[in-house]
Amino acid sequence: MSKTLRVGLLLFPQCMPAGLLSFADLLHATNRRTGREIFETCYVALQAGPVECANDVTLQAKYTLANSELDAILVPGFWAESAEQVEKTLANHANLVASLSSHSRRCQLWSYCTGVCLLAASGQLKDQPATVTWWLAEAMVQRYKKVHWRSEQNCVFNERTATASGVNGYLPIAQTLIERNVSPEVFRDLIKLMVLPRPALSHTAFQAMSLIEQSGKLLRKLHALLEQMPAEQITVKVLAGKLGMSERTLARKVREETGLAVGSYARRVKLNQVSERIALTSVPVSTISVELGFSSDSNMRRMFKELTGLTPVEYRQKFGCY
């Protein structure tokens, strides 16, 4: 990404604030992990000022919905127990629906839970695939016939809109957004840091091998360096030079902290990158090999099997989420 993505968190009376707060935390964690301001969040509403949300929570809207220069807006849900209550809430928020209806097409619109109903009412989901919380599916199909409802799906992303079901629907939206804007390694670390859904199993060869799990300052520097370098360019001499120390000192310190030779540690870091991309994506193994800079696909596959006892294809079958 070349610029910060400005995301407005929409407030309106009696909206449910928990998802907005969690969404903001996820984007903040992404900025911290990357060391860059990838995302900026702010609260927006029809009018700037305090907004009384559900559960006696009051949040301060910094900008108005009409005047904010945003790249995207996240529309939260509101409490409802029936389709009739949803219709009543939509009627009570007619001005908000009208504002969403006329919002700039340059701005992406994301919504989850009953917030999807606000987007549907605004006409912004017309002729697009969208999902909605299951118990509202039938009512939404009848009420908004020009929306291509996909209620069997948990989350639907289009070029300009995104919809997700359930009160935790902000989570798949956030995860998709983050995954699109960071490297697989950063995404992996955020999954662990924020305790997000991930493959339940991992191979013992890669336990405690993520950057975020390296406690020592040297190992963190070395680990980050290894992840950025093409595999075929890694040598002890090059690493020592980049870290400003002798080869002997580097070898001794790595051995003390990991019990491994520098070459073995470096190989495990690169193969851990391979394992994460195999498990978390559907990218072809040969493409992963090229992206990570291995001298040849066959060489990477050989080293991977020597370490794990599994071919990359077998590893994806056992540990992958695709």
Same domain for 156 and 247? Answer: no
Same domain for 159 and 258? Answer: no
Whether 190 maps to a domain, the answer reads: no
What is d(CA 322, CA 309) in angstroms, rounded to the nearest whole number? 21
Give the pLDDT confidence score for residue 318 in this predicted structure: 87
Same domain for 116 and 58? Answer: yes
Whether 286 maps to a domain, the answer reads: yes
Neighbour tally for 126: CB within 10 Å: 13
Same domain for 37 and 103? Answer: yes
Give the pLDDT confidence score for residue 198 in this predicted structure: 55
Whether 85 maps to a domain, the answer reads: yes
Indicate the number of domains in the chain. Answer: 2
Whether 186 maps to a domain, the answer reads: no
Give the pLDDT confidence score for residue 126 in this predicted structure: 95
Same domain for 292 and 219? Answer: yes
Same domain for 176 and 211? Answer: no
Phi-psi region of 75 (alpha: psi -120 to 50; beta: other; left: phi over 0): beta
Give the pLDDT confidence score for residue 1 in this predicted structure: 45
Same domain for 303 and 260? Answer: yes
> Which CATH number belongs to the domain containing residue 274 in this structure?
1.10.10.60
Same domain for 95 and 216? Answer: no
315 contacts: CB under 8 Å, gap ≥ 6: 203, 275, 278, 279, 304, 308
> How does strand 49-52 pair with strand 58-61?
antiparallel
Give the pLDDT confidence score for residue 106 in this predicted structure: 87
280 closest CA partner among 208, 196, 205: 196
Tokens of 263: 């070459």
Q: Which domain holds residue 99?
A: 5-181
What is d(CA 91, CA 85) in angstroms, rounded to the nearest whole number? 10
Same domain for 96 and 150? Answer: yes
15 closest CA partner among 101, 73, 102: 73
Q: Which residues of the chain have pLDDT under 50?
A: 1
What is d(CA 106, CA 178) in angstroms, rounded to the nearest whole number? 20
Please give the model's pTM, rounded to 2 decimal places.
0.65
